Amino acid sequence: TKQFAPLVKRILTDGKCLEGGILKVDNFINHQIDPELLKQMSIELVRRFAAKDINKILTIEASGIAPAIMMGFLLDVPVVFAKKKKPSTMSDMLVTSVFSFTKQRSYDVCVAKEFLHKGDKVLFIDDFLANGNAAKGIIDLINQAEAELVGMGFLIEKAFQHGGDYLRGQNIQVESLAIIDSLDNCTITIKE
Ligand code: G4P
Ligand code: NA
Ligand code: NA
């Protein structure tokens, strides 16, 4: 496993364990954002996907947008974020349903056809990979658009929720900068 040391260090310093296997990273990713760390993480993700031809970054609102923008800036490609509510002003949309494990209910995720088309070479970026339901929804949207999924990059993967196993099993290049094996007993265990 390739752990990105600056992120691992920060998780161990500032990350907090919550009940139910949730890692709170509000100090540097999910509420307050550390732009310098975000830049370093994005440079590392760009390096890991350097062999790939990418013409678009795709993410889901809200927390994925910050890392996605940094990636789009570095790769000089547009950034599209899928929306969680269908805007009333948009008609030509691709829509998929995502089951939220945390909220125990499904929600719609959509993207305008105008911004995801056939032939697009898409890199998906998000803050967390847990069960991978959001990622599965994104794959469905990409398939509907007849675009090509080039890879999926995450800041933090929670290996104990196995979304990463599923995606890698689909032959997708999945890169996670920090992989967490367990959050049991309020202890953050980083994968070896
Ligand atoms: P899944 O997509 O992998 O199946 O994840 P799940 O339904 O379990 O997670 C739903 C939301 O919770 C996602 O954000 C996801 O990024 C976030 N999440 C999952 N595990 C953790 C965690 O341990 N810590 C934190 N901080 N977030 C986690 P979202 O609800 O779509 O919202 P947003 O924050 O991106 O707006
Ligand atoms: Na997210
Ligand atoms: Na989140």
Q: What is the mean pLDDT of each run of 10 residues along the chain (192 residues)?
A: 94 96 97 98 98 98 98 98 82 93 91 97 98 98 98 98 98 98 95 93
Total tally of structural domains belonging to the chain: 1
CA 102, 105, 111 angle in degrees (round to 5)? 95
Whole-angstrom distance, CA of residue 173 vs CA of residue 175: 7
Q: Find the helix packing angle between 35-48 and 5-14, rounded to 10°.
A: 140
The pLDDT of residue 85: 83
Q: From ligand 1's centre to the CA of 56, what distance in Å?
A: 22
Q: What is the pTM of this model?
A: 0.96
Binding-site annotation: residue ranges for 5-phospho-alpha-D-ribose 1-diphosphate: 130-134
Binding-site residue ranges for xanthine: 23, 30, 158
- Cα(25) to ligand 3 centroid in Å equals 9
Q: Which atom from ligand 1 is nearest to the alpha carbon of 29?
A: 26
Token pair for 24: 């709170």
Could you tell me the CATH number of the domain that includes residue 140?
3.40.50.2020
Q: Which domain holds residue 23?
A: 5-190
Q: Is 42 exposed, middle or buried (0-12, 13-18, 19+ CB in 10 A)?
A: buried
Q: How many Å apart are CA 82 and CA 68, to the nearest integer?
A: 12
25 ligand 1 Cβ < 6 A? yes
Measured distance CA(169)–CA(189) in Å, rounded: 24
The rounded radius of gyration (Å) of the Cα atoms in the chain is 16
By the 8 A CB rule, do 125 and 45 touch? Answer: yes
Q: Look at residue 90 in the predicted model and tell me its pLDDT.
A: 63
Cα 168 to ligand 3 centroid, rounded to whole Å? 22
